[in-house]
A and B are shown apart, each in its own frame.
Chain A
Amino acid sequence: MTSEPRTGRLIWSRMIWRYWLKEAKLTAMLVGILALGIAVFLSVRLANKAAVTGFGLFTESIVGQSDFILRSPAGKLDERILLEIRKATGSAPLGIFPVLEVTGAIADDPEPGLLRLVGVDLVGLQNAAQYLEGESAGSGGNGLNGESTNQLLGSSRAVFVGQGFVGKTGVAAGETVSVTVSDRVRELVIEAVLPDSPNVAAVPANLVLMDLPGLQALSGEAEKISRVELRIPPGADAAANRESGFALLTAFAEANDLILETPEEQKSSVTQMSAAFRLNLTILSGLALLVGVYLIMQAMEASVVKRRAEIAVMRSLGVTPAEIKRAWILEALLLGFAGSVLGIVLGRILAMGMVGAIAGTVNTLYYETTTTAVTLGGWEVLFCLVFGTVASVLAGWIPARDAAATPPAQAMRHGARSGGLKVLRFWPVGIVLFIAGIAAAALPPWERASGSVVSVGGYLSSILLVLSSSVLIGLLFRPVSRLLGRVGKRSAPFRYAASQLRKPGGRHRLTAAGLAAAIGMSAAMAILVASFETTLTSWIQQLLKADLYVSAPGISSVTNENTISSSTWKAIDSIDGVAGMDRLRRYPVSIDGTRAFLGGADYNQDSERHLQLIWLDPPEDRGPDALEKISGGVISGWISEPFQRIFGVGKGDLFTVPTPQGAKEIRCEGVYAEYGGETGTVMVSRKFTSEWFSDDRITQMSVYVSEGIDPEVVLSEIESQFPTLVARTNARLREESLRIFHQTFAVTYALEAIAVLIAVAGLGLALAGLLLERRRELITLKSLGATRREIAAAAMWEGVGLSIVGLSGGILLSFALGWVLIHVINPQSFGWTLTYQIPWGAFAFLIGVTILCAAVVASAVGYRNGEVRSDRIVGR
């Protein structure tokens, strides 16, 4: 006796599997679309992760991870602190490793990236083997063995670099490389190239390792260190030692106004700064995934329609609706799984291309990071598999329900119009969702324990607005149908296409809703970018009034510490034709554990020609001497908009900033606009910062040229006398600023394009489903004498009509979403006030491309379906 095969398996093997084989191209396309959605989502996630992982202390990859870090909230530490630490910790088992970090640049590189020169106490390292034992990145891990390090000891020229450095510069071991440090060119000799080890993080390509005293001599930072890394020896007592060490160090840090943190804490607090940027990218990539899932729904609906007669036969043979539904859900599950697996592979590849772009933005705006290798973790694989499969099953739910509802036999003769969500027909639901969306925008942001802010109301509002547009878009069909009908009064294909939109079915509504969501979100991002660009351009135009701008290399990186020495800026000041200059020095400081900049400015003593900031809350006095006021020990200062948002300080408020000479009290006299980055800045007179930091160097200067002198002449003079400096004219700096801006948004543009492309592919799939459903109508058209080309034209106009509905809804949605992005999400997440700007040119391009793509895709689908087989024409 044989057991009866289960019906579900029978349906699957006889209907679904065979259908897949028969429609192999369609199945492959479906899996490909889902894979693309997963791939985009995953690649952004991986690239984001790589950009965060790439932030490091730069010593990790060479000497391993420390247990604690001690650093100053402002400026560098004096080397004598090491003795004091030892005194304070007594005989506690604690390895103390001083580190000095300075920035530099390759001298003869036309586009110099930031170079980080790290000085570690190599003698101390060699004598502290017990602290490094058991570390994967120990002294042997990266080739820091006794013999090779001896060549570095005390030398201000000998350096080690990683494989990445060699790859980037082409300089090999034993050769010299010219490096600019503190506006002086130094010849460094590469003693050895540290080999990459499989168990150790790769040495970053911009890292140059030296002995501490050597770097101190090279950089002019005698007896200075950036931080002290502290390490507990491994062993059975490590946990107890760490606890007691932490207590001692905490007391020491508090007594000396220092910051004590673990490497993880530091990494977390720094990388947290880019959380909003990364979240935005994740949301955009999620959009591509969302549209991909929606396409699965479209395609599965089409497959149900195509096989409705078969389903009806099965129903008449006694297969239950539940069994039919199960079979279709299984189909969705398998497609989702296959798409996810392919998407993971594709995403891994895409991420490698994307990581550079994201790391570049993070470098410019947030913190120094390197383009580390993209690593695909088990969790990511699991997440994508589960997400892709579950989303696909959810998308397949409605078609499966639809398949199960097919009445036996009846559909074989008449076919049935179906598809879509019934809720899309009730426009009052859309109104309610719209009002709820606007109301949600008023919700306060959620402040996380880490200090970052999530614009809950903004994101909730966006979701509700997208949902409301999906419902309200039904109202646009009739006017668009009328428009098409009027335009193409004389053409039969036009008339037929317009009539299809007059009373739209569920599939029409669903297609337009999907397209509107993709267009709406992409166009809203375009509004954000345009608003940003307009605001930035206007800011740059108002701000950049000087003739020339001079800085040390690496100015575009937020972590740049390259400086111009006082002798250099004084020499530039005395060049013929230079009428005056604004000078600025920027110091990174930590205020309540959050990074900020303390700026020291001294302005050109010409009441007309000096830096004019753009004021959001203007001070009473804006003259060149305004910041030199001091009353009762309180110093006048101006703060940037991000500083105001991060620290909650406003005009008239008193606050303190850390300096090497202790905390200084500052009164906020005004708030100015700042779009160059998200790190808050407090600006005081350079007279004070030079004194506090005992440092007369500057970060950059704006040069005013005497009347009648060509700025290009002065520029040439500066370039010839000081080839290591970066000097630009006003126009070139503006161009450069906008170039960096567009580079920052490059990933955004790419993601937008992918979302729109997927949406248009969805339109094609939806039309294919619609035409399959209307097979009988096509037969009629053919019998009335319509040619295949006319059928294709009708499909094309229907596709164009659908895309006009989707575009109209999407553009209207984008106005609302753009408003939420600019007035809710952006101020809450980034603290920038932007001018709302609609990019009409970009919109026209988006509309044109979408309609064109829709016309081409729809026409192709129509042409393919316009071939009606003769034996089906009559009598069937």
Chain B
Amino acid sequence: MNVLQVSRLTKSYGTTPVLQGVSLSLAPGERAALMGPSGSGKSTLLNCVGGIDRPDDGEIEIDGEKLSQFDEEGLCRLRRRKVSTVFQFFHLLPTLTASENIEFPLQLTGMAEKDRLSRVAELIEEVGLVHRAGALPDELSGGEMQRVAIARALSIRPRLILADEPTGNLDSATGEAILDLLQRVSESHEIAMLIVTHSPDVTRICDQTFKMRDGLIASGENDDE
């Protein structure tokens, strides 16, 4: 069963069509790059998949659950169980330490403290930041912040990670390292990833590349083919 199934999605803002019947799917552990010029509908598609915006028509299924059946509160709860987002500007909570940032989504799910702490220790080790666990975001470098953001995204064991220009604010070497990390965690945890990017380098870790133009997927490439 696909983790993500998008079928004939349409969305307009006023009279301006933004998505005009987009369909795509991602299997567990599959990674796809979503590329296209500004205004092509990438962000709107990501918003709809994340359950933050609602399409006018069409359907989105995440791990077999149709988004249309949920209200706002239900969508929030779905996100905290199955979908994580990694942002270009990291968006760590500035008053929480690295480990607290990672722990935070687990607290939202109501996980017991003992389990939370063991999960945080596991993740912080996985992203190689054990020595920076107590640091506040403004004490971390850009790469470290993105590692914390990835660890946070992984904390809830999501089925799907949505990444919005995850290397867009990093130098090329750090960007490469972050891509390697994303690939590794995706493979090891079987997490599907939809990555919005302008950078062709990102496609190196992706199984598919969707190119969007004027609210449509103009072409879909399977990198394995």
Is B95 a contact of A503 with CB atoms below 8 Å?
yes
Is B79 a contact of A492 with CB atoms below 8 Å?
no
Is A873 a contact of B79 with CB atoms below 8 Å?
no
Is B107 a contact of A490 with CB atoms below 8 Å?
yes
Q: Which residues in chain A, 781-808, are within 8 Å of chain B measured between CB atoms?
A: 781-790
> Is A621 in the interface zone, CB < 8 Å from B?
no
> Is A567 in the interface zone, CB < 8 Å from B?
no
For the complex, give the distance between the alpha carbons of A495 and B110 in Å.
Answer: 13
Interface of A is mostly: helix
Q: How many residues of B contact A (CB 8 A)?
A: 41
| B118 CB to nearest chain A CB (Å) | 15
Is B47 a contact of A870 with CB atoms below 8 Å?
yes
Mark contacts of B158-196 with chain A using CB atoms, 8 A cut-off: 1 yes-contact digit, 0 otherwise: 000010110000000000000000000000000000001
Mark contacts of A753-793 with chain B using CB atoms, 8 A cut-off: 1 yes-contact digit, 0 otherwise: 00000000000000000000000110111111111111000
Is B108 a contact of A875 with CB atoms below 8 Å?
no
Q: Which residues in chain B, 87-111, are within 8 Å of chain A measured between CB atoms?
A: 87-89, 91-96, 100, 104-105, 107-110
Is A870 a contact of B52 with CB atoms below 8 Å?
yes
Is A500 a contact of B91 with CB atoms below 8 Å?
no
Task: Choose, from B2-10, B69-77, B126-134, B202-210, the stretch at the interface.
Answer: B69-77
For the complex, give the distance between the alpha carbons of A153 and B162 in Å.
Answer: 103
Is A489 a contact of B43 with CB atoms below 8 Å?
no
Is A783 a contact of B91 with CB atoms below 8 Å?
yes
- Tell me which residues across on chain A come within 8 A of B92, comparing CB atoms: 780
- Tell me which residues across on chain A come within 8 A of B165, comparing CB atoms: 875
> Is A608 in the interface zone, CB < 8 Å from B?
no
For the complex, give the distance between the alpha carbons of A780 and B76 in Å.
Answer: 12
For the complex, give the distance between the alpha carbons of A401 and B80 in Å.
Answer: 41
| A474 CB to nearest chain B CB (Å) | 16
> Is B36 in the interface zone, CB < 8 Å from A?
no
Mark contacts of B46-58 with chain A using CB atoms, 8 A cut-off: 1 yes-contact digit, 0 otherwise: 1100101100000
> Is A320 in the interface zone, CB < 8 Å from B?
no
> Is A449 in the interface zone, CB < 8 Å from B?
no
> Is B122 in the interface zone, CB < 8 Å from A?
no
Q: Which residues in chain B, 127-143, are within 8 Å of chain A measured between CB atoms?
A: 136
With beta carbons under 8 angstroms apart, the residue of A502, A781, A784, A875 that contacts B164 is A875
- Given A874-B46, A874-B87, A874-B164, A785-B96 contact (CB < 8 Å): no
Is A780 a contact of B53 with CB atoms below 8 Å?
no
Is A870 a contact of B76 with CB atoms below 8 Å?
no
Is B107 a contact of A785 with CB atoms below 8 Å?
no
For the complex, give the distance between the alpha carbons of A789 and B73 in Å.
Answer: 9
- Tell me which residues across on chain A come within 8 A of B96, comparing CB atoms: 495-496, 499
Is A776 a contact of B79 with CB atoms below 8 Å?
no
Is B52 a contact of A785 with CB atoms below 8 Å?
no
For the complex, give the distance between the alpha carbons of A370 and B23 in Å.
Answer: 85
Is B47 a contact of A780 with CB atoms below 8 Å?
no
Among B80, B91, B107, B136, residue most surrounded by chain A Cβ atoms (within 10 Å):
B107
With beta carbons under 8 angstroms apart, the residue of B80, B95, B162, B196 that contacts A500 is B95
Is A875 a contact of B93 with CB atoms below 8 Å?
no
> Is A254 in the interface zone, CB < 8 Å from B?
no
> Is A491 in the interface zone, CB < 8 Å from B?
yes
For the complex, give the distance between the alpha carbons of A873 and B96 in Å.
Answer: 20
| A647 CB to nearest chain B CB (Å) | 62
- Tell me which residues across on chain B come within 8 A of A4, comparing CB atoms: none
Mark contacts of A842-876 with chain B using CB atoms, 8 A cut-off: 1 yes-contact digit, 0 otherwise: 00000000000000000000000000001101110
| A793 CB to nearest chain B CB (Å) | 11
Is A489 a contact of B113 with CB atoms below 8 Å?
yes
With beta carbons under 8 angstroms apart, the residue of B80, B95, B104 that contacts A502 is B95
Is B108 a contact of A873 with CB atoms below 8 Å?
no
| A797 CB to nearest chain B CB (Å) | 13
For the complex, give the distance between the alpha carbons of A789 and B72 in Å.
Answer: 11
Is B79 a contact of A783 with CB atoms below 8 Å?
yes
- Given A492-B108, A874-B85, A785-B91 contact (CB < 8 Å): no
With beta carbons under 8 angstroms apart, the residue of A496, A788, A870, A871 that contacts B93 is A496
Is B104 a contact of A495 with CB atoms below 8 Å?
yes
| A416 CB to nearest chain B CB (Å) | 12
Is A786 a contact of B47 with CB atoms below 8 Å?
no
Is B108 a contact of A790 with CB atoms below 8 Å?
yes
Is B76 a contact of A873 with CB atoms below 8 Å?
no
With beta carbons under 8 angstroms apart, the residue of A777, A787, A873, A874 that contacts B73 is A787
Mark contacts of B29-67 with chain A using CB atoms, 8 A cut-off: 1 yes-contact digit, 0 otherwise: 000000000000011001100101100000000000000
| B97 CB to nearest chain A CB (Å) | 9
- Tell me which residues across on chain B come within 8 A of A790, comparing CB atoms: 108
Is B50 a contact of A873 with CB atoms below 8 Å?
yes
| B13 CB to nearest chain A CB (Å) | 8
- Tell me which residues across on chain A come within 8 A of B53, comparing CB atoms: 870-871, 873
Q: CB-nearest residue of chain B relative to A784?
A: B105
- Tell me which residues across on chain B come within 8 A of A503, comparing CB atoms: 95, 136
With beta carbons under 8 angstroms apart, the residue of A490, A777, A786, A875 that contacts B46 is A875
- Given A495-B104, A499-B100, A874-B47, A783-B95 contact (CB < 8 Å): no
For the complex, give the distance between the alpha carbons of A495 and B109 in Å.
Answer: 14
Is B50 a contact of A874 with CB atoms below 8 Å?
yes
With beta carbons under 8 angstroms apart, the residue of A495, A780, A783, A873 that contacts B100 is A495
For the complex, give the distance between the alpha carbons of A772 and B88 in Å.
Answer: 21
Is A785 a contact of B105 with CB atoms below 8 Å?
yes
| A637 CB to nearest chain B CB (Å) | 70
Q: CB-nearest residue of chain A relative to B76?
A: A787
Q: Which residues in chain A, 643-679, are within 8 Å of chain B measured between CB atoms?
A: none
Q: CB-nearest residue of chain B relative to A498?
A: B95
Is A788 a contact of B72 with CB atoms below 8 Å?
yes
Q: Which residues in chain A, 519-559, are within 8 Å of chain B measured between CB atoms?
A: none
- Tell me which residues across on chain B come within 8 A of A776, comparing CB atoms: 91
- Given A784-B108, A785-B76, A787-B73, A499-B50 contact (CB < 8 Å): no
- Tell me which residues across on chain B come within 8 A of A870, comparing CB atoms: 47, 52-53
- Given A874-B85, A874-B87, A875-B46, A491-B94 contact (CB < 8 Å): no
| B78 CB to nearest chain A CB (Å) | 8
Q: CB-nearest residue of chain B relative to A505?
A: B95
For the complex, give the distance between the alpha carbons of A413 and B107 in Å.
Answer: 29
For the complex, give the distance between the alpha carbons of A707 and B53 in Å.
Answer: 88
Q: Which residues in chain A, 406-442, are within 8 Å of chain B measured between CB atoms?
A: 413
Q: CB-nearest residue of chain B relative to A777?
A: B93
Q: CB-nearest residue of chain B relative to A790?
A: B108
For the complex, give the distance between the alpha carbons of A381 and B94 in Å.
Answer: 48
| A122 CB to nearest chain B CB (Å) | 83
- Tell me which residues across on chain B come within 8 A of A777, comparing CB atoms: 91, 93-94
- Tell me which residues across on chain A come within 8 A of B100, comparing CB atoms: 495, 499
- Given A492-B108, A785-B108, A873-B91 contact (CB < 8 Å): no
Q: Which residues in chain A, 256-298, are within 8 Å of chain B measured between CB atoms?
A: none
For the complex, give the distance between the alpha carbons of A500 and B94 in Å.
Answer: 9
| B215 CB to nearest chain A CB (Å) | 15
For the complex, give the distance between the alpha carbons of A784 and B196 in Å.
Answer: 18
Is B91 a contact of A779 with CB atoms below 8 Å?
yes
Is A784 a contact of B79 with CB atoms below 8 Å?
yes
Q: CB-nearest residue of chain B relative to A504?
A: B95
Q: CB-nearest residue of chain B relative to A500?
A: B95
For the complex, give the distance between the alpha carbons of A492 and B77 in Å.
Answer: 14
For the complex, give the distance between the alpha carbons of A783 and B92 in Å.
Answer: 11
For the complex, give the distance between the alpha carbons of A490 and B73 in Å.
Answer: 20
- Given A500-B95, A780-B93, A783-B52, A492-B43 contact (CB < 8 Å): no
For the complex, give the distance between the alpha carbons of A787 and B104 in Å.
Answer: 14
| Between-chain CB contacts (< 8 Å), 5 pairs | A776-B91, A780-B93, A783-B79, A783-B91, A785-B156
Task: Please name 17 further chain A to chain B contacts, defined as beta carbons within 8 Å, in addition to the given A784-B79, A784-B152, sorted by A numbering.
Answer: A413-B89, A490-B107, A495-B96, A499-B95, A499-B96, A776-B91, A782-B52, A783-B91, A784-B104, A787-B72, A787-B76, A788-B72, A871-B47, A873-B47, A873-B53, A875-B43, A875-B165
A residues sitting closer than 8 Å to B (CB atoms) are: 413, 489-492, 495-496, 499-500, 502-503, 776-777, 779-790, 870-871, 873-875
Closest 10 CB pairs of A and B: A785-B80, A492-B107, A499-B95, A870-B53, A875-B43, A785-B79, A780-B91, A787-B76, A492-B108, A873-B52
